[in-house]
Homo-oligomer: A and B are copies of this chain.
Amino acid sequence: MDKKFVAVIGGSQCTKEETRLAEEVGRQLARRGAILVCGGLGGIMKAACKGASSEGGTTIGILPGDNRQAANPYVQIPIVTSLGEARNVIVVKSVQAVIAIGGSYGTLSEISHALKNGIPVIGLNTWSLSRNNLKDKSIIPAKSPTEAVDKALDLVTSQKSGE
């Protein structure tokens, strides 16, 4: 259990550029020994799993529906929840850091649940937040997959040593 668990979150529909980013994030997480957790479906989730698989990494998909067949083909461990969106909470609670790439309201809900629980969120081209017109800086920006993975793994490590 001293493995590092990192979630990659983002839309089931995404741009080509976002796909490229997610795949590279997946590859780098796997190379550095982290286990990838995601929502198990298409788009960003599939791209990240594909990248991780190509480097021999482990991929976990927390599925919203009732059917393990709905997992993308790069998910090695499908968890079947039947909980719909409530599974978003499980995705973020099961990891020590989250990398958000693009995404819509589902992704925003995962970002929120992560921040609520003190789980660090690294953002690549994703949401930014203001509250009462004050910028909220909780989402840690990254400019590249490498920077995102570096920051995520650093934050996992610092959490662990502080445990």
Residues in A lying within 8 Å of B, measured CB to CB? 1, 3, 35, 58, 60, 62, 66, 68, 71, 73, 75-86, 89-90, 93-94, 102, 104-106, 108-109, 111-113, 115-117, 125-133, 138
Contact = CB atoms under 8 A, between A and B. Distances in A.
Copies of this chain held together in the complex: 4
Contact of A109 (B35, B83, B104, B113): B113
A100 B35 CA distance: 29
Contact of A116 (B62, B85, B113): B85
Q: Which secondary structure dominates chain A's binding surface? A: mixed
Contacts of A89: 81-82, 84-86
Nearest to A83: B83
14 contacts: A35-B77, A66-B93, A80-B90, A81-B90, A82-B85, A82-B86, A82-B89, A83-B84, A85-B89, A85-B113, A85-B117, A106-B112, A109-B112, A127-B130
A159 to B, nearest CB: 11
